[in-house]
Chains A and B, each alone.
Chain A
Amino acid sequence: MGIEERVPSGVMLTSLEAVIGWMRKTSFWPLTMGLACCSIEMISYGGAPRYDAARWGQEVFRASPRQADLMIVSGRLSQKMAPVVRRLYDQMPEPKWVISLGACASSGGVFNNYAIVQGVDHIVPVDIYVPGCPPRPDQLIDAMFKLKENEVRRQPLGAHAVAARETAEQAAIDAPALHELKGLMR
């Protein structure tokens, strides 16, 4: 939310986007958001010499949401924990991304019961889902690189961000309502 937001769209903004996107991609800090079993695999991703996230400079997990760009929700999210996670998400500065790590975080997993939120996308917007119970650290590495390459590096700025938001909103308005959908359901 600085001066770059006021750059008019054109060559200048596009180049700025490329530079800032590259910088964001290369200094991408995750938040320590360990909830359950999957968080142990997340620790392996960050700490185990075998996976060694230091190779791409990501071994430091940030304990404060104010210094983090990425929330890896790793594990099952209980009803009691949900407000806490949402609060942490709200405290992270924009732009921010969310990885939902594991079956529980993505959909409730095997725990279809009273205690577990059936997917963290009920409370925070998720950018990439990683399946598995628990997912291997390799899968998290894959997700991380896909996220960095496809989302973080291409994050629109200024006029482009406004345009992207408007396009998304228009698409949502144009989408057919449930009862207008034809085919399998009728």
Chain B
Amino acid sequence: MTQDTDPTPLDEEPRDDVGTPEDAPDMIAPDAAPGEEPEESPDEADTDDVFVPDPSVFAEDGDPDGATSYLASGADWDDIVAEQAERTDSVIVVNMGPTHPSTHGVMRLVLEMDGETVLSLRPGIGYLHTGIEKQMEYRTWVQGSPLISRCNYVASTANEAVYCLAVDKLLGITDDIPERANVLRVMAMEVNRIASHLIAIGSGALELGATSVTMVCLQEREHCLEFTDSYCGLRMNHGYIRPGGVASDLPSDGLDRLRELVRLLESNLPAIAEFTLEQPIIKLRMEHVGTLDLAQCMALGATGPTLRATGYGWDLRKMQPYCGYDTYDFDVCIDTGMDSFARWKIRLAEMDESVKILKQCIEKLERTIGQPFVIDDPRIGPAATMTVGADGQGASNEHVKLLMGQSMEALIRHFKKVTAGFTVPPGQVYTAVEAPGGEIGCHLVSDGGLKPYRVHLRDPGFHHAQTMPMMCEGGMLSDVIVALGSIDPVMGGVDR
């Protein structure tokens, strides 16, 4: 196993101690020969609770620097080529991305290759840095939901959920959320989980050249998006989950649509498993590729299907239930393959579990028809009662009549709520939910004002990006694509 010892971001100024042609071969050496590392005595680890880093995983003081920094985001590619020409070894540097069709968005990988073998790999991120966390400090608590939705845009409902759960917790209303709101949240999250897994599987297959798998996945995803479209008006980036509940109830035909969706998914999803799981080419390409064992997952913060592929059934929906997940009957999907194929199988199985949850949602939604979908608190709920008119959604006529003709106080309150929103007591919380990719967490700090003081997102994709060197170094170039597809990082979430 090789290691990631270079803490320097790729696009920093090159340090003067690296990068000279004479140094270059030496820079490679530690990666190629990990046996030379100074060994810590591992015995103490058993007796003490003190964390003793595994020298084969972590860099230590005195370790030589890892790899040279390569810059390629401007006009300096020529310099790299010149430097390359002066090198005495046969290592070539390959820049992959940020607009490579197989890097899942604008991720960049810098690879040092010896022939077909990857000697070192460094992911370069930040090409989609959007400043969402910073911008949320200048928006009200409710406006945060549609903004954070745009982080990991493939699994947007999980972002909203984790943020809104954090706000709920700070407000102290976690236990007061009406049942129907929680069921609607679960429904939205599970539909989104299926859509996200379908993209992960579909684009993973596309990168291997399996176009028909992609087509089938996109077709099924289309059904999911049609359903989300019907209850929140958007196919992606819904902004549906809000502090205190959800944005709107299901439309009058919502339950029928949900039943139809479940029927379609139940009949079509197994086909994907059927024609991929026994497919010899797919198996040859993905088995034993991009392996990560439990210790490596733990050390690098990998969660979700990547962690469950090591046989450890860590699923926050079971371990720390939120939104009433403890009242649903579903299984945590695990596998022991530890490789890309195991993650693929887990995603396929998880979609079936999500359909199972959706079926239970239908029962609960039938039982709670007419109940509130947002907390009964005049401070937090929506400013107006909404209705769907001929020209789309808008404030209901009765509400406008009340505001304009009858109650000055109601008008003032409406105005305050629309322009300023509500305040949240000072404090800080961390909440985590199981996003399709893994654990997504939100660290939220409030100073008691109308806006968050700080919002920080722990996106699973960010942590998975750092597992890339661990999975790919020492392997083949063609396996890099498979490994990358199997962890499914979405750059919107990684860079935020």
Contacts and interface: CB of A to CB of B under 8 A. Distances in A.
A111 B131 contact: yes
Interface in B131-160: 131-132, 134-135, 146-147, 150, 153-154
A97 to B, nearest CB: 18
A114 B134 contact: yes
Interface in A72-130: 75-76, 78, 80-81, 83-85, 88, 110-116
Interface in B110-142: 126-132, 134-135
Contact of A81 (B98, B134, B150, B202): B98
B299 to A, nearest CB: 29
A49 B215 CA distance: 6
Interface in A37-87: 37, 39-41, 43-44, 47-50, 61, 63, 75-76, 78, 80-81, 83-85
Contacts, number: 102
B214 interface: yes
Nearest to A43: B218
A35 B105 contact: yes
A84 B154 CA distance: 24
Q: Which of B150, B199, B214, B492: most chain A Cβ within 10 A? A: B150
A36 B107 CA distance: 11
B106 A81 contact: yes
A34 interface: yes
Given A35-B105, A88-B99, A115-B129, A40 B215 contact: no
Interface string B194-223: 000001001100100001001100110110
B73 A83 contact: yes
Contact of A115 (B131, B203, B221, B237): B131
B218 A49 contact: yes
B219 A81 contact: no
B101 interface: yes
Nearest to A39: B105
A133 to B, nearest CB: 7
Contacts of B491: 36
Interface residues of B, number: 39
Interface string B474-496: 00000000000000000110010
Q: Which one of A41, A61, A75 has the greatest number of beta carbons of chain B within 10 Å? A: A75
A133 B237 contact: yes
A113 B131 contact: yes
A40 B130 contact: no
B218 A35 contact: no
Interface string B66-109: 00000001100000000000000000000000111100011000
A134 B131 contact: no
Contact of A76 (B100, B130, B199, B219): B130
B411 interface: no
B235 interface: yes
A136 B74 contact: no
Nearest to B143: A110
A13 interface: no
Given A36-B492, A78-B127, A81-B98, A41 B215 contact: no
Contacts of A133: 237
A132 to B, nearest CB: 10
Given A47-B215, A111-B132, A113-B134, A37 B153 contact: yes
B131 A63 contact: no
Contacts of A34: 105-106
Contacts of B203: 43
B354 to A, nearest CB: 19
Contacts of A49: 215, 218-219, 222
B300 interface: no
A40 B99 contact: no
A175 B235 CA distance: 42
* Residue of B74, B105, B130, B237 most packed against chain A (CB within 10 A): B130
B128 A36 contact: yes
Contacts of B202: 47
A61 B235 CA distance: 23
Contacts of A76: 128, 130
Nearest to B138: A113
A113 B138 CA distance: 10
Given A63-B101, A88-B99, 4 more contacts: A36-B491, A111-B135, A113-B135, A115-B134
For the complex of A and B, 3 pairs with smallest distance between CB atoms? A37-B153, A115-B131, A48-B218
Interface of A: 32-37, 39-41, 43-44, 47-50, 61, 63, 75-76, 78, 80-81, 83-85, 88, 110-116, 133-134, 136
11 contacts: A35-B105, A36-B153, A37-B150, A41-B235, A48-B218, A49-B215, A50-B218, A80-B126, A81-B128, A84-B127, A114-B134
